[in-house]
Structure formats: C-alpha cells, structure tokens
C-alpha cells in the first residue's frame, strides 16, 4: 500500500468510485481509494439504480446528462460492458394542473441543457405504459432517456478504468483516524498503515459521520429505511414486446420499473423511519433492514389502484435498506465547511442515477477550484450552524414523504421550522407575517390581512400578489419597515485589512472612513465568486477602526472560507463573524428620514448623511450602525442592531412611524422592487459560470488596479465571445397571462434556445412582468420569446433598472 499520494477517497460506493475515476480524467492519477469492506457494500449494492435525466435545476440536469453519457460509454465497452438499460423512457404522473404547470416549466428548463422532455395527457401516458389506469390522472412528464443500471458492474467498471489510469484501490482497509497537519495536508490512518496525502474526500454513504467525526465535523446527512419489492412474472409484460417505461407517481408515492418480466416497485410511505441515528453496527455490511411491509400499506393501495396488475401477482423479493438524505434533499458535493483540502460527496439519495455527474463535478472542483457549472445547489456550505442531527432527521422525513412532489415557488414546508429566529419573530408573526426560510432564518415574506388568508402554491401569480403590491406602494409613497435577519457580516481588522481586501475585490475600496461601497470578488478563473458591501467604520468606543464585510445570508460559510483561505502567512488580518449577533432593520421610503430623525440624534439630512454613508449611533436606547444603502430603489437605511436591543429599536421605529403611515413589508416586496431596479441576487443572477462583464458589472471592475484574484484570467478573456445578462419585459402580470418567467426557463429565437432566465417576477411600481436572463454569445436582441409554462411568450429587451434609473429617489 502507498504511504504517500495526492488524494485519498474514502468509500467504495458509486460516490467514491466516480470521484476516483473522474480525478484520473482530470489528469490526477496519483490518487487512492480506500474501502472498509468490498466495493459497493453499502447502499450502492441494494439500489434500485434508476437513471433519469430529470432534475429541478439546470445543474442537476447537466450532471445527470453526464451520467447518462458516461454509462452509455461503459455499456458499450467491449472489454468490460456494463448492463445498462438506457432509453426505456419514464413518466412522472400528475393529477393537478399545478403539477402539470411544474412539468411544463421543467421541460423548458431542461431544453436549455439540450434535454427534451415531453408533457403528456392522461391517455398518452396510458398508451405508453399500458399497465396504468387513467383514473384521477391529468397527465405526466416523459423522459425518453430513463433507464436503469447494474450497480456493482458500474462501480467495478469505474474502478477498473481508474486503476488503468494509475489510481489504486484498497479494499478491506478501514480508516481508523484522520490527522491534519500545519500545512493543511492529511494523514489517513488505516488498519494497514498510514497514507499521507494533500487532500481527503469523504464518500462514505451512510457512514459519512463516522469519518466526519474523525476530522471534527458533522454533516447534515440522515439515513431513511426504504423498501421495494420485485414481483413474480407479469404476463402482460412478457407479451408486450417492449420494455415498460419507468413510472414515478406523486399521487400514490411509489415508483416502478421493469425487472426481467416483472416489476420492481418502491414506496415512499408516510409512516417512514429514520435509520442509524444512534450509531451503526460495524458489521452492517452488504446487509438489509428487516422487512416491514405493514408500513407501506397506505401507499400500496394507491399503487394497486394505479396498476391493477399488481393485485394479481406474487412478491418474489423484498428489499429494505438505508438511503441517505440531506436537509433539502440535494447532495453535498464540494468543500467541507471550515476545513482545508477536505471535500465530500455525500447525501446521494439517488446515487446511481446521478453519481457519474457528481463525481465529475467534484473532481473538477478538486483539480481546478471550480466546476463547469455553478455548483451552489450542491455545495456543503449552503447549510450552516443550524444543521444539526435533529433538524436533518425532521427534514429527511419530510423530503422522503414528498419524494416525487417538487417544491412550488414560495412554498416553505413545515418540518424543522423556527431553527433560527430573532426577538422579532413572534412579534412579526402576531402582525400576520408569513415566513420564508433563508439559511435557516425565519424571515417575513409578506403580511397577511387575517390568519385565514390562504395562498395557493403554483407556478402562476397567486393571491398574495395584491398584498405584495400594497406593501410596495407603502414603501414608494410613505415608509416601510422590514427585518432582514441572518445577513452575513464579517468584521475585518488588522494593519493589513485594507491591502488584503484590495487583493480580494476586483474594484475599488470605499476611500474614506464612514463610507460604504458595493464590491465583487472573483475566483482564479475570473468569474464572479461573491458580492459584498464593504463599510469602513472609524475607531470608536465600540471598537478599533474596522471594515464590515456584508453579503447574502446564505453565504455565511462560503464567504468566510473564501476570505480565510486567502489570508497570507504573516498578514495582520483578523476575521470575526457577527452574523448571528446582529440583525438589520430596513427603513425605506420617502419618509424614512423623518422616522429615523425622530428616534435618533444627529444630522440625517442628505447633506449630513448622504447615500453610501455609514455611522454609529442610537435608535431610542438601542446602539446601532446605520448605512445609507438601498435594495428597494427608495430612500432607505439599513439599521444594524445587536439582537439584544432589536426589540427596543423596533418599538422605537414603529412608534415614530405611526405619524408617517409606516407599514411592515416582507421579502416578496423586496424581490419585486429589486427586479425593477436592476439589482442582482447572489446565486440567482450572480454565478461562477459568468465573469463580471457578462453579468453587467463593468463599473465595479478596475482592471488597471494592482493585482487582484482572477485578474489575469479576466484579462485573458478579452476578445472572447461572452454571454450577457439582460432584462426582459414580458406581457401580462397578476392578470392574464398570469405567470412570471421562473428561473431556468428557456429564452428562444427561431425555435432554438438562446438563453436562460435567472430571476423573474412582477414589478409593481413600473407595472411590468420582468425577467433577468443570460443570453448566449451572438444571440439576437429582437424576436425573442420565453417558454413560460409551455407557452412561447414574446419578450423585449429593456434597460436594466427601469425604476428611477438616475437614482434620484435613493439620493433624495
């Protein structure tokens, strides 16, 4: 066994084998995989092994397309062919128009990745799958690439190819410990000796947290027992003359595919069960949980109703084994938060179908620092300190129970709520707040007129749009108050703080103390990595001269990791997170200055406190830090308050606001207003797939400043064909046609995809249905349409920032 290598991958299932293989494809061949038993002895061996192209984001569709292409290549390998039944087709059923709208949207989104889905009516579903009934059925989504693969053959084929490229695989080699050294390298301790390496990868399936504990971390991954059975032979299948399509049914919570001349039928019962929460038997290898068919009686009845043939056939085999889930159901593929040279590829609930793509994206991140796609939807850092065992279990149960029911826009499911709150959460709830969740924080989305007000979840404008319009109107004509909790805030101090940040950002620092500036950070490839507001605070009784780095709530771990790993040895820079200590109250509208002046001493006039200023002071008796910045496009102040004083500041502002018609507003109103202003949202419109020029951030780039991260790569792209972010105006609004363009929708011209929508919604101040979209290089500027829920809707490119384009209201 080697004692020194570049990468050690721990785990010999689909995650580990795919990562090892793809590392060799990226040019790293001095790599090793260690497995405690035999390859595929965990969840992989009992997987139902379905391989669909369906995904709810373009990144997921792309990684599944890669898996399918790779598996076809392995199937056709003359030396070691893998049993892969590709192209049987698959149907996802629906019995509501809202579900059908979702399928129309997903078909539009997939088209942008070169994948063609088909939306079917009920009769066509039955024609393609003659075993199903059309009772209580509206239609479905057809995936022509659906199929299934042999799990063991797949993993052995990937390991075989990796070995041929120079990688080594050590079976029956349990890892007993991990040690990280001062230079961030690792020693992997095994029962057969130690292996020194630069990088370690946790690919340990349901044993993920056994290895996580060895490096002092916990991963939000939970295992669920999952049952399927294989039937005896069904004559109708034998006589059909073709393989049956795969079936996934959100109506009755089951799936099935052909297995020989019978069916493999799997269930997502409501009375589901977590597994391994209190530890896993070390001898649980190539093993299953006890059968428990009584638990699936409810969903089995639904399956019988949809497929009567199941009632006439016996059960040949029952399988009940653990599969892994995360808090949001998507895998964790990427850097481990707070660790260097440590990665994970875990929580793969659909591991066989997606594993080829997951290993591909992870290998790119390890070797190149980024992948070909923006991988935030898979990034382990999207969950932060709230992601404990108990929350993960609750969300895993909820996700399991809703396996085939996708999330609708603005739908926030109930399990594990109130994970992160502020002193204002119950106060706002009493005011009628409907909450959304941002990185675990409960944030007011809108305010309902009465507790019985119901919102219908769909891909169309809903009943809440009138409430959002009223909140926007209050901000535009008078004054509004909004809590923004969880906003990422890092205090940066030290003699080298300014030079450090100058190296990190592609533009200019705020020049003077008491000033604020919006800045962008690039990765080494010259693409946009992060967006940050920098505020220069002078020394005071609250601390030394310091710089506040503020960014999106979701970026808490992501941005701290990025900054920390770029502090050079000997550099006098200190980073301290204030994210969980303070909350922002946003006061916005033409009367915002009147309200602030009534509760806070000092000159808050446009001359005494102009736009992009920052000052420490008080609101009532609450110590605050106030910034004159606006995400709404109105005169606005961000009031940063320690959580201990938050309620006091809120009461002071509410009391002062009564004379000026102050109204509470929520996140949906903010979203509408920022679309009108041309303001971008991190990881919606700001992606690592695009550079700042493509994203329309030219004014935030200073190419002639001394070196900054990504500068060389950015300059090297000069003269190359670039994408461009545009603002589109679509017809309609809350009235017909009553749908926005949702993220992922395809922009078309002449029947071809020329772009992809990143954000969409209704701008109530400008009275326009708006969308942001990246257009491909060379895309035309006229004759565009957007595929909105299956309809080609005319789209006109318009100026960015339709509302108050000269910023007069912000500077008032």
DSSP 573-591: -EEEE-TTTEEEEEEESTT
Report the mean per-residue pLDDT for the chain.
Answer: 97
pTM: 0.97
Peptide bond into 737 cis (omega under 30): yes
Q: Tens digits of per-residue pLDDT, 211-260?
A: 999 999 999 999 999 999 999 999 999 999 899 999 999 999 999 999 99
Structure tokens at 182: 């001062």
Q: What is the dihedral of CA 347, 350, 352, 357, to 10 degrees?
A: -70
Q: Provide, rounded to the nearest whole percent, the portion of the chain with pLDDT above 70.
A: 100
CA-wise closest residue to 2 among 193, 156, 165, 202: 193
The rounded distance, in Å, linking the Cα atoms of 294 and 183 is 54
Measured on CA atoms in the order 501, 502, 504, 506, is the torsion positive or negative?
positive
The rounded distance, in Å, linking the Cα atoms of 520 and 703 is 13
The rounded distance, in Å, linking the Cα atoms of 189 and 652 is 59
Under a CB-based contact definition with an 8 Å cutoff, are residues 63 and 19 in contact?
no
Longest CA pairwise span in the chain (Å): 85
Predicted confidence (pLDDT) at residue 736 exceeds the cutoff of 80: no
Q: What are phi and psi of 497, to 5 degrees?
A: -60, -45
Under a CB-based contact definition with an 8 Å cutoff, are residues 12 and 211 in contact?
no
Chain position carrying tokens 């070691």: 80
| Angle, helices 58-75/97-111, rounded to nearest 10 degrees | 70
**Alpha helix ranges (H) inside 531-623:** 556-564, 592-599
> Mean pLDDT across the stretch 583-595?
98
Structure tokens at 80: 């070691």
> Mean pLDDT across the stretch 192-216?
98
Q: Tens digits of per-residue pLDDT, 35-86?
A: 999 999 999 999 999 999 999 999 999 999 999 999 999 999 999 999 999 9
Under a CB-based contact definition with an 8 Å cutoff, are residues 498 and 450 in contact?
no
The rounded distance, in Å, linking the Cα atoms of 26 and 8 is 15
Under a CB-based contact definition with an 8 Å cutoff, are residues 568 and 504 in contact?
no
**At 342, which helix (H) or strand (E)?**
strand 342-346
First to last CA, the chain: 71
Under a CB-based contact definition with an 8 Å cutoff, are residues 381 and 561 in contact?
yes
The rounded distance, in Å, linking the Cα atoms of 585 and 573 is 29
| Angle, helices 151-165/14-25, rounded to nearest 10 degrees | 30
The rounded distance, in Å, linking the Cα atoms of 492 and 580 is 16
Q: Residue 180, Cβ neighbours under 10 Å: how many?
A: 16
Residues 6+ apart with CB under 8 A from 381: 334, 335, 337, 557, 558, 561
CA-wise closest residue to 60 among 253, 267, 437, 348: 348
The rounded distance, in Å, linking the Cα atoms of 604 and 618 is 12
Chain position carrying tokens 């001095």: 30
The rounded distance, in Å, linking the Cα atoms of 356 and 288 is 25
What's residue 178's pLDDT? 98
The rounded distance, in Å, linking the Cα atoms of 794 and 474 is 31
Under a CB-based contact definition with an 8 Å cutoff, are residues 481 and 657 in contact?
yes
What's residue 351's pLDDT? 84
Q: Residue 72, Cβ neighbours under 10 Å: how many?
A: 16
The rounded distance, in Å, linking the Cα atoms of 687 and 700 is 16
Q: What are phi and psi of 345, to 5 degrees?
A: -145, 85
What's residue 553's pLDDT? 98
Return the DSSP state at 686.
B
DSSP for 635-661 reads SEEEEEEEGGGHHHHHHHHHHHHGGGT
Predicted confidence (pLDDT) at residue 737 exceeds the cutoff of 80: no
The rounded distance, in Å, linking the Cα atoms of 537 and 574 is 15
> Mean pLDDT across the stretch 729-744?
91
Under a CB-based contact definition with an 8 Å cutoff, are residues 489 and 643 in contact?
no
Under a CB-based contact definition with an 8 Å cutoff, are residues 628 and 637 in contact?
yes
Chain position carrying tokens 């977590």: 274
Q: Tens digits of per-residue pLDDT, 498-537?
A: 999 999 999 999 999 999 999 999 999 999 999 999 999 9
Chain position carrying tokens 């303070």: 582
Helix/strand number for the chain, H first, E second = 18, 39
The rounded distance, in Å, linking the Cα atoms of 353 and 148 is 8
The rounded distance, in Å, linking the Cα atoms of 192 and 181 is 21
Count of CA atoms in the C-beta half-sphere (13 A) of 309: 20
Edge-to-edge strand ranges of the sheet holding 84-85: 50-51, 147-149, 84-85
> Mean pLDDT across the stretch 664-692?
98
Predicted confidence (pLDDT) at residue 735 exceeds the cutoff of 90: no
- Distance (Å) of CA 360 to CA 33, 162, 352: 16, 13, 13
Exposed, middle or buried: residue 590 (CB in 10 Å: 0-12, 13-18, 19+)? middle
- Distance (Å) of CA 115 to CA 104, 106, 152, 165, 746: 13, 10, 28, 31, 12
Scored b (16 or more CB within 10 A) or e, 620-631 reads bebbbbbbbbbb
Under a CB-based contact definition with an 8 Å cutoff, are residues 774 and 768 in contact?
no
**At 748, which helix (H) or strand (E)?**
strand 746-749
Q: Tens digits of per-residue pLDDT, 748-772?
A: 999 999 999 999 999 999 999 999 9
The rounded distance, in Å, linking the Cα atoms of 253 and 225 is 15
The rounded distance, in Å, linking the Cα atoms of 11 and 9 is 6
CA-wise closest residue to 797 among 682, 660, 696, 662: 696
């Amino acid at each position: 066994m080697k004692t020194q290598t570049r990468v050690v991958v721990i785990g010999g299932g689909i995650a580990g084998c795919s990562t090892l293989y793809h590392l060799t494809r990226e040019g790293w061949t001095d790599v090793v995989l260690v497995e405690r038993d035999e390859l595929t002895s965990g969840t992989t061996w009992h997987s139902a092994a379905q391989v669909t192209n369906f995904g709810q984001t373009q990144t997921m569709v792309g990684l599944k397309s890669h898996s399918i292409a790779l598996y076809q290549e392995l199937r056709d390998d003359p030396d070691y062919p893998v049993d892969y039944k590709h192209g049987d087709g698959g149907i996802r059923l629906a019995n509501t128009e809202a579900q059908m709208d979702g399928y129309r949207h997903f078909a539009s989104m997939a088209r942008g990745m070169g994948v063609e889905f088909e939306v079917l009516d009920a009769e066509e579903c039955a024609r393609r799958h003659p075993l199903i009934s059309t009772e209580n059925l509206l239609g479905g989504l057809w995936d022509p690439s659906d199929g299934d693969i042999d799990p063991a053959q797949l993993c052995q084929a990937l390991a075989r190819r990796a070995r041929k490229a120079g990688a080594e695989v050590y079976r029956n080699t349990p890892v007993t410990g991990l040690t990280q050294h001062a230079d961030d390298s690792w020693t992997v301790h095994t029962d057969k000796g130690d292996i020194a390496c630069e990088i370690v990868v946790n690919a340990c399936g349901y044993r993920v947290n056994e290895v996580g504990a060895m490096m002092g971390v916990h991963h939000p991954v939970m295992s669920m027992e999952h049952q399927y059975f294989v039937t005896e032979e069904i004559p109708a299948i034998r006589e059909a003359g073709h393989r049956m399509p795969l079936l996934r049914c959100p109506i009755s919570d089951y799936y099935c595919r052909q297995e020989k001349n019978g069916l493999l039928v799997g269930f997502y019962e409501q009375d589901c069960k977590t597994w391994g929460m209190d530890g896993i038997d070390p001898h649980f290898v190539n093993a299953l949980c006890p059968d428990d068919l009584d638990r699936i009686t409810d969903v089995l009845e639904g399956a019988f109703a949809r497929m009567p043939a199941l009632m006439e056939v016996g059960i040949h085999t029952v399988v009940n084994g653990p599969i892994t889930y995360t808090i949001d159901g998507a895998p964790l593929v990427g850097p481990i938060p707070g660790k260097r040279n440590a990665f994970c590829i875990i929580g793969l609930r659909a591991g066989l179908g997606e594993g080829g793509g997951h290993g591909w994206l992870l290998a790119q991140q390890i070797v190149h620092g980024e992948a070909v796609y923006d991988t935030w939807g898979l990034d382990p850092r999207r969950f932060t300190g709230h992601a404990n065992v108990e929350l993960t279990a609750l969300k895993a149960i909820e996700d399991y129970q809703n396996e085939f029911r996708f999330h609708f826009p603005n739908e926030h499911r109930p399990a594990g709520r109130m994970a992160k709150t502020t002193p204002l959460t119950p106060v706002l709830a009493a005011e009628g707040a409907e909450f959304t969740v941002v990185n675990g924080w409960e944030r007011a989305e809108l305010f309902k007129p009465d507790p019985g007000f119901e919102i219908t979840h769909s891909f169309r404008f809903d009943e809440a749009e009138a409430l959002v319009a009223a909140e926007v109107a209050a901000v535009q004509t008078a004054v509004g108050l909004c809590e923004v909790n969880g906003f990422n805030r890092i205090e940066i101090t030290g003699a080298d703080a300014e030079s450090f940040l100058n190296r990190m950002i592609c533009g200019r620092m705020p020049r003077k103390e008491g000033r604020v500036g919006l800045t962008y950070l690039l990765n080494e490839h010259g693409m946009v990595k992060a967006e940050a507001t920098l505020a220069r605070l002078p020394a005071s009784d609250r601390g030394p001269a310091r710089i506040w780095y503020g960014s999106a709530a979701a970026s808490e771990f992501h941005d701290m990791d990025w900054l920390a790993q770029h502090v050079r040895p000997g550099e006098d820079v200190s980073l301290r997170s204030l994210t969980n200590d303070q909350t922002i109250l946003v006061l916005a509208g033409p009367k915002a200055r009147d309200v602030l002046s009534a509760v806070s001493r000092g000159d808050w006039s446009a001359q005494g406190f102009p736009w992009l200023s920052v000052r420490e002071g008080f609101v009532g008796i609450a110590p605050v830090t106030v910034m004159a910045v606006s995400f709404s496009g109105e005169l606005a102040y961000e009031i940063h308050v320690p959580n201990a004083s938050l309620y006091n500041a809120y009461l002071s502002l509410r009391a002062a606001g009564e004379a000026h018609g102050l109204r509470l507003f929520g996140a949906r109103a903010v979203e509408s207003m920022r679309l009108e202003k041309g303001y971008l949202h991190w990881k919606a419109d700001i992606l690592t797939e695009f550079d700042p020029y493509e994203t329309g951030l030219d004014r935030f780039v200073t190419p002639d400043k001394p070196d900054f991260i990504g500068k060389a790569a950015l300059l090297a792209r000069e003269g190359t064909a670039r994408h461009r972010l545009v603002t589109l105006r679509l017809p309609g609004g809350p009235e017909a046609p009553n749908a926005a363009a949702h993220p992922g929708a395809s922009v078309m011209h002449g029947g071809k995809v020329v772009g992809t929508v990143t954000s969409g919604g209704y701008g109530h101040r400008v009275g326009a249905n708006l969308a942001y979209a990246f257009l491909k290089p060379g895309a035309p500027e006229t004759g565009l349409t957007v595929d909105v829920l299956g309809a080609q809707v005319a789209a006109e490119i318009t100026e960015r920032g339709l509302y108050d384009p000269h910023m007069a209201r912000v500077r008032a």
